[in-house]
Amino acid sequence: MSKSADSDHDLKPEAVEKFRLFLNDDYGKELYKAAEEESSLIVDFTKLDKRFDELSQMLLEKPEHFMKVAKTAVDGIDLPAPVKIRFSNLPETSIVNVRDLRSKHIGKFVCIEGTVRRASEIRPEIVAVDWKCHECDNVTRHPVSGTFISKPFRCGNVLDGKTCDGKSFAEENKVMIDARWITIEEPFELTEGEKPSQVNVWLSEDLVSSDGRRMTDPGNRLKIMGILREVPKGKMGSVKLDFYLDANHVEPTETTWERLKISKGEEEQIKEFAKDPNIYDKLVDSMAPSLYGLRHIKESIILQLFGGVPRKLPDGTHFRGDIHILIIGDPSSGKSQLLKLVPEIVPRGRYVSGKGVTGAGLTATVTKDEQFMGGWVLEAGALVLTNKGLLSIDEFEKMSQEDQVAMHEALEQGTISIAKASIVATLPAKTSVLAGGNPKFSRFDPMRSISEQIDIPPTLLSRFDLKFTLRDVPDGKVDRKIVEHVMKSRHEADLIKPAIPPDMVRKYVAYAKERHSPQMTPEVSKLLKNFYVKTRSRAEGGGPVPITLRQFEALLRLAEASAKIRLSNEITKDDANRAIRLMKDSLKDLGYDTETGGIDVDKSEGGTTFSQRSKITRILNLIDQLSGGEREIVPLPKLRDMAAKEGIDTAEVDEIVERLKRDGTLFEPNPGYVQRP
C-alpha cells in the first residue's frame, strides 16, 4: 500500500529521530503498555518542550506536519499495535478563549476551555476509503473530506519504473472510527451576562470510549487541545460557524472556583472579613441593597451561596451540600429583582424564567440534528449548565411538566437522567436553586390555606430547604420607608453601595467553598437534635408531622454554611442557632399555625389546616351579623365582646382584623371601627 503523496519525503529525518529518542527515553514503558492495551499515549507537552523545543514549537505551529513526524517515529518503533500520541499540559499561552478564535488559528494546535452544551450520539464515521486499481491491483487510501467520498482520479502507482495510468477503481475497504460532535460553550467566568460563545469539537477513537463518553457528556467542564480546522463544505448548514476543533486530547477541569484569581491582598481581605463579628450583617447589606428589607431572605441566600458540605457515607448514601430556596410572593414584591441580582454575585450563576426557557429548557432535551451533528443530540438545560453554581428560576410554578419531573432528581441527587431515542445519559446538576413564583391566584388570599395556593407538588416543595412567602400589603409606615429607599437608590447611589462589592463577595464565596468543610461538635449536634425532636414531638398523638428529616438535613447544611462564612472548620452554637432561626422563619411563613402554636409542616408542604381559617370565617360572620348584613360600620369593642363569647380572645381578634385589613377584606373608616368594603 502506498502512502499519500505528500508524506515521507518532506519530513525531516532529524525531527523523526528526535521524537523517537524522546519517546524512548521518557515514555519507553508507557508506550509499550499503551500499545498492548491498544490505547493512546498521553505525552506531557512541557517534557517535550524541555527536551526538544523545536519539536514542541512544530506541534503548536504546524500540528498537521508534526503528527506525521510523530506517527513515523512511532511506526519505526517495534510495538504490538500502533499507538496514537496525545498531548496534555499545554502552556497557558496556547489557551485561546472561544470568543477569540480567529482564522489565524486555523491549522494551529490550540487549547480551549469550557462546558459541554450539546453532544451527539456516538456513531461510526468513515474517515477514509481504500481503493483498488483495476489495472495493477494497487490499493490507495483516500481520506474522506466533508460529506463526500472521493475516488482517486488516476492510479499513479509506479511499478517496475512504469507509472500506472489506471482510472477505474473498486472500493476495497472503508476505514471507520467512532466519533461524536460536541459543542463547547465558554466558561462562566468569561461571559458575565453576555451570550457565551460556542465552538464545535470533533472527538474520535478512544476519546469516545465509554469513559470518554461520560466525560464529554453535556454539563462537563473540559480543557480540549487539538487542531483548529475549517469546516468542510456541506456540513453545518445554517449554523454560522466556520471552524471546528479536531480534538487531540481532552481533560476534565472540574475546578469551578479556582479560575477566579484571588490575589494575596484579596486573600488577606477575605480573612479580615471572616474575623469581623458583623460579617453576617455586612454580607446581608451587600446583597441586593436596592431592595428594602427582606433581611431573613437575604440572610438565607447568603448561606445558600456558601452552601453546606456534601457528604458520602461508607454505604454510598450521598447527602447534598446544595441549599435550595423558594420564594412565593404577591406581584411586585421584589422577587424577580432579587432573583436577577443573586446570580451576579456568585461564580457560575444564571437567571432563567421557568416559563420562558427556550431550547433545552431547565433540565435537558434530546433533539434530532441531521444537518450538522448527524442524528440525535443531547442538549444541556440551565440546571446542567450551572452545575456547581447557582440557578435562579423565576416563574417557577410555570415550568413545563417534563422539567418538573426532572427537577425532583436534580434538586435531591444533583443529577439529571435522560433516556430518549438512542441516548441514555446521566448529566451532572449539582446546582443550588433559588426559585421564585406567584401563588396560584397570583396574589395570596388570606381566606385560604397557603398550601392551597401554591401550585407546586408537595414532593417538589419538600426538596427546598427554606421556603418563604412575600406579601405586598399596604402599610403606611413600611410603604413610606420603601419609597424613600427606592428614591435614594435612584438618586443617591452612594447610599446603597454594598458593604462588600459583588466582585469581592464572589471571591469570598469561592475561597470559603474551596477550603472549608466544617464539622459538628457533639454540643452543637445536640442543639440541632433537640430542636428537631422537640418540634417533632408536638405532633405526637396523631397531629400533623411538624418537621421531617429533610428539614433536619437542611438545618445541618445551613449551620455548615454559616461556619464557612467565618472560614471555620468547626460549627458553633451560633451557627446552629442561625440555622434554627431561619428554619423557624421559613416554617412560619408557609405553615406555622399561630392558633395551635405548632409548626405544621404538612401545611407548608401540601396538607391542610382548618382552625385558623374557621376563626377568620367566624369573625367575618360576626361582622356581617353586627352590621345587619348591610356592610355597615362596626365598632371594634363590640366585635371583641361577641368573639369572646365564641371563645376567641381579644388578641386573636385584633390579629385577624389586622390581617383582613392588610389584604383589603376590611378597612378602618374611623379609628376603632371596621367595615366591609
Ligand X SMILES: Nc1ncnc2c1ncn2[C@@H]1O[C@H](COP(=O)(O)OP(=O)(O)OP(=O)(O)O)[C@@H](O)[C@H]1O
Shortest distance, position 437 Cβ to ligand X, whole Å: 8
- Decide: 113 and 183 in contact? Cβ < 8 Å: no
Q: Which does 135 bind (CB under 5 to 8 A by kind): ligand X, Zn ion, Mg ion, none?
A: Zn ion
324 binding partner (options Mg ion, Zn ion, ligand X, none; Cβ < 5 to 8 Å by kind): none
CB of 164 to Zn ion, least distance (A): 3
Whichever of 354 and 598 has its CB closer to ligand X, that residue is: 354
Amino acid at 628: G
Cα(first)–Cα(last) distance of the chain, in Å?
96
Query: Please, what's the b/e burial string for 505-531 (b: 16 or more CB within 10 A of its CB; e: otherwise)?
Result: bbbbbbbbbeebebebeeebeebbeeb
Considering only residues 336, 353, 525, 548, which one is a binding residue for Mg ion as defined by CB under 5 A?
336
Let me know: does 272 contact 480? Beta carbons within 8 Å. no
Please identify, using beta-carbon distances, which residue of 29 and 477 lies nearer to ligand X. Answer: 477
Distance between CA atoms of 364 and 385, rounded to whole angstroms? 10
- Within residues 418-447, the interface with Zn ion by CB under 5 A covers none
**Nearer residue to ligand X within complex by CB, 250 or 590:** 590
Positions 65 through 104 that interact with ligand X (CB under 6 A): none
Helix (H, G, I), strand (E, B) or coil at 102: coil
The residue among 340 and 676 lying less far from ligand X, judged by its C-beta, is: 340
Give the integer Cα–Cα distance in Å for 64 and 340: 47
β-pair type (198-204, 466-470): unpaired
Least spacing, CB of residue 130 vs Zn ion, in Å: 13
CA distance 378 to 420: 9
Question: Quick one: cell of 105?
Answer: 488559528
Proportion of the chain in helix, strand, coil states, percent, rounded to 5 = 40, 20, 35
Name the binder of 337 from ligand X, Zn ion, Mg ion, none, CB < 5-8 A by kind. Answer: ligand X
- The residue (of 338 and 345) whose beta carbon lies closer to Mg ion is 338
> Of 328-336, 418-426, 566-574, 584-592, which part binds Mg ion (CB under 5 A)?
328-336
Positions in 464-503 near ligand X (CB under 6 A) = 482, 485-486
Of 337 and 675, nearer to ligand X (C-beta) is 337
**Residue 292 within binding range of ligand X, rule CB under 6 A:** yes
Q: If binding is defined by CB under 6 A, does position 438 make contact with ligand X?
A: yes
**Spatial distance between the Cα atoms of 607 and 544, rounded to a whole number of angstroms:** 9
- By beta-carbon proximity to ligand X, the closer residue of 292 and 592 is 292
Residue 443 CB, nearest approach to Mg ion (Å): 13
534-546 burial, b at 16+ Cβ within 10 Å, e below that, comes to ebbebbeeeebeb
Return d(Cα 585, Cα 466) in angstroms, integer: 9
CB of 598 to Mg ion, least distance (A): 33
For the CB of residue 394, give the shortest distance to Mg ion in the complex, in Å: 6
Rounded to a whole number of angstroms, the minimum distance from the CB of residue 327 to Mg ion is 10
Select from ligand X, Zn ion, Mg ion, none the partner in contact with residue 157, using the beta carbon and a kind-dependent cut-off of 5 to 8 Å.
Answer: Zn ion
136 binds, among ligand X, Zn ion, Mg ion, none (CB under 5 to 8 A by kind): Zn ion
Q: From 361, 426, 366, select the one nearest 391 (Cα to Cα).
A: 361
Q: Could you say which of Mg ion, Zn ion, ligand X, none residue 539 binds, taking C-beta under 5 to 8 angstroms by partner kind?
A: none
The mark string for 472-511 relative to Zn ion (x by CB under 5 A, - otherwise) is ----------------------------------------
The DSSP secondary-structure symbol of 122 reads P
Which of 91, 89, 113 shows the shortest CA–CA distance to 100?
113
Q: Residue 518 phi/psi, 5° resolution? A: -60, 150
Name the residue whose CB lies closest to ligand X: 334
Q: How far is the CB of 441 from Mg ion (least distance, A)?
A: 16
Supply angle C-alpha 315, 316, 321, rounded to 5.
125
Residue 462 interaction partner, one of ligand X, Mg ion, Zn ion, none, beta carbon < 5-8 Å per kind: none
Residues 320-349 that bind ligand X (CB under 6 A): 329, 331-337
Least distance in angstroms from the C-beta of 665 to Mg ion: 25
Give the bridge partners for 570, in sequence order: 519
Q: How far is the CB of 162 from Zn ion (least distance, A)?
A: 10
Of 47 and 440, nearer to ligand X (C-beta) is: 440
Site residue total, Zn ion (CB under 5 A): 8
CB of 203 to ligand X, least distance (A): 42
Nearer of residues 62 and 485 to ligand X, judged by Cβ? 485
Q: How far is the CB of 405 from ligand X (least distance, A)?
A: 25
C-alpha cell at 426: 446521566
Please enumerate in sequence order all residues whose Cβ is within 8 A of that of 356, keeping only pairs 6 or more positions apart, or say none. Answer: 395
**What are the helix and strand counts (H, E) for the chain?**
22, 26
Rg (CA), the chain: 33
**Per rule CB under 6 A, is residue 188 in the interface with ligand X?**
no
Minimum CB–partner distance for residue 337 and Mg ion (Å)? 8
**Of residues 138 and 612, the one with the C-beta less far from Zn ion:** 138
Q: Which listed option, Mg ion, ligand X, Zn ion, none, makes contact with residue 292 (CB within 5 to 8 Å by class)?
A: ligand X
Q: How many CB atoms lie within 10 A of CB 289?
A: 18
Nearer to Zn ion, 154 or 214 (CB): 154
Number of C-beta neighbours around residue 572 at 10 A: 18
Cβ closest to ligand X, residue 86 vs residue 335 = 335
Task: Determine phi and psi for 289, rounding to 5 degrees.
Answer: -65, -20
CB 601 within 8 A of CB 551: yes
Tell me if 197 contacts Mg ion by CB under 5 A: no
Contacts of 287 (CB under 8 A, 6+ apart): 298, 301, 302, 341, 342, 345, 498
Cell of 623: 361582622
In the DSSP assignment, the letter for residue 645 is: H
Segment near Mg ion (CB under 5 A), from 330-338, 441-449, 576-584, 633-641? 330-338
Rule CB under 6 A: choose which of 48, 208, 291, 342 binds ligand X. Answer: 291
> What whole-number distance in Å separates Cα of residue 461 and Cα of residue 469?
13
| CB closer to Mg ion out of 356 and 635 | 356
Residues 129-168 that bind Zn ion (CB under 5 A): 133, 135-136, 138, 155, 157, 164, 166
353 contacts Mg ion (rule: CB under 5 A): no
Strand-pairing partners, residue 124, are 178
The binding site for Zn ion (CB under 5 A) comprises: 133, 135-136, 138, 155, 157, 164, 166
The binding site for Mg ion (CB under 5 A) comprises: 336
The binding site for ligand X (CB under 6 A) comprises: 291-294, 329, 331-337, 438, 482, 485-486
